[in-house]
Amino acid sequence: MHTGELIDRIEKLSQAGGGAVDQDTFLSAGSFDAALHAAGGACAMVRALLAGEADTGFALLRPPGHHAERDRSMGFCLFNNVAVAAGLALGELGVKRVLILDWDVHHGNGTAEIFRGRSDVLYVSIHRDGFYPGTGPLTDAGSGAGLGYTINLPVDAGTEGEVWRSLLEHIALPAAGRFAPELVLISAGFDAHRDDPLGGCALQSEDFAQMACQVRALAERCNAPVGAVLEGGYEPHALAECVLATMRALAGAGRAESIAPDPIYTRRAAAHVGHFWEL
């Protein structure tokens, strides 16, 4: 999933005591080992899920990963943990189709670019429009053999959980059901929470729990294990609350509750995604 040059560059910078990768991303002497363990933790979770040791899992990792591109670390991310884990499942563990659902408030540009031209990964991102890193417009559906296998669902600043849940239920999950994944991975960022100092959206922990219930129901219908990989979240109490709510929902607490389609966001998204998937 990453070039050897990137891996070597991060290792050498850490060995030299650390330093800046870009204006947002810094390394210490321990960062390379931490990044290896983060990617390895996501892989360990996927191995356990596909070995039948559990139906669900949550990899609590730092540093996060979804901004890291094939040849570039950025946005607090050194290696793309969820992409590495998906690549392992596809390349070595016999899986043919992986769904990656990204509900971090920021678009997962790294994951999108790594799998842009592939049809064995369906990447779906709900994120704040026009926010860092400035990627992920609704019209970007992937390219080449991967055309249609990227679904971007941008929302405006200040949107509440009902909008996110509507896009998930009426756009993302119907397309995912047609895709029929054999493994479901969530890039689980919680910086869309209303108390997060960076995100600028208005979700509550109950919204993340409901989204997790919806994803769990999809995974059950597809007979696929589901695992979450921690991404962003910058208010410690909100982060802890959301992680626990998501873990409980993935483990079976609560049930998926339907929500009406949003008259603006869902209709607009359906007009684009409907060219590639029956919704």
pLDDT of residue 233: 97
Cα pseudo-dihedral 148, 216, 206, 266, rounded to 10:
30
Q: What is the CATH number of the domain that holds 189?
A: 3.40.800.20
pLDDT digits (tens, 9 = 90+) for 18-49: 999 999 999 999 999 999 999 999 999 999 99
Chain mean pLDDT for the chain? 97
When pLDDT is averaged across residues 56-75 and rounded to a whole number, the result is 97
pLDDT of residue 7: 98
- At 105, list the tokens: 């408030």
Is 278 within a domain? Answer: no
pLDDT digits (tens, 9 = 90+) for 118-175: 999 999 999 999 999 999 999 999 999 999 999 999 999 999 999 999 999 999 999 9
Give the domain extent around 251.
4-273
Q: What percent of the chain has pLDDT over 90?
A: 100
| One-letter amino acid for residue 253 of the chain | A
Q: Helix, strand or coil for residue 274?
A: coil
Q: Please give the radius of gyration of the chain, using alpha carbons only, rounded to the nearest integer.
A: 17
pTM beyond 0.85, yes or no? yes
- At 111, list the tokens: 């994951």
pLDDT of residue 239: 98
Is 178 within a domain? Answer: yes
Q: Which residues are catalytic?
A: 67
Is 149 within a domain? Answer: yes
pLDDT of residue 16: 97
Q: Domains in the chain: how many in total?
A: 1
